[in-house]
Amino acid sequence: MKKTKHSGKDGNVIRFPNLNQRLLERGQEFLQRENYHEAIPLFQEAVELAPSNSDGYIGLILAYYGAGYHEEAVELAKVMLHEGMGNYFDIMDLYIKLLFQSRRYSEIVTLIEGLLEERTIPSERLEHYYSILDISRQQLEQEDEEERNDSGIFEETKTELQLQEYTDPQ
């Protein structure tokens, strides 16, 4: 008879049947009630129990984003894409939405242009990706325009200040 070593803190613990499913359900309940901070540990535990189950990761991404941890949500979606978890284009859509919400338009443009170059986007999603690409490009142009306007206002203010410095106090 072969002995097995139990490593970690849970080596001698027998988990309840369907614990992972229960954690996911409770996490979803908290998400629906917008209790994001309570949902995070549930989804984290679900991910630890079943690292190959994409539902736990998606729930964790949504909880992170709802709780204001936008960077963590974006990074976790990126990990899912690199690890090939879940449906690639469903995760890609979620990732792009997170980037869009975070106003990271240049990353969206680069990402979608790369997907278009590789010709990997399914035909039924092409129109959707082209529209996101157009909107992101428009947002980038708008940001550039606002930046130019802001720098122009700064230059005008600077010029006014210089004129005041040269006036004769008498």
Alpha-carbon dihedral sign for residues 67, 70, 75, 80: positive
pLDDT at 4: 42
Instruction: Give the pLDDT band of residue 148 (cuts 50, 70, 90).
Output: confident
Give the chain's end-to-end CA distance (angstroms, integer).
104
The 10s digit of each residue's pLDDT in 33-76 is: 999 999 999 999 999 988 888 999 999 999 999 999 999 999 99
pLDDT score, position 130: 93
Quickly list H helices, the chain.
19-32, 36-49, 54-66, 70-83, 88-101, 105-118, 123-166
User: How long is the chain?
Assistant: 170
Mean of the per-residue pLDDT values of the chain: 82
Residue whose entry in the numeric block shows the structure tokens 């200040």? 161
Q: Which tokens sit at 28? A: 């979803």
More confident residue, 35 or 147: 35
pTM of the predicted model, to two decimals? 0.72
CA distance 66 to 48: 21
Number of CB atoms found within 10 A of residue 19's CB: 13
8 pLDDT more than 70 = no
Q: Report the alpha-carbon distance of residue 7 to residue 132 in Å, rounded.
A: 47
SS3 50: coil
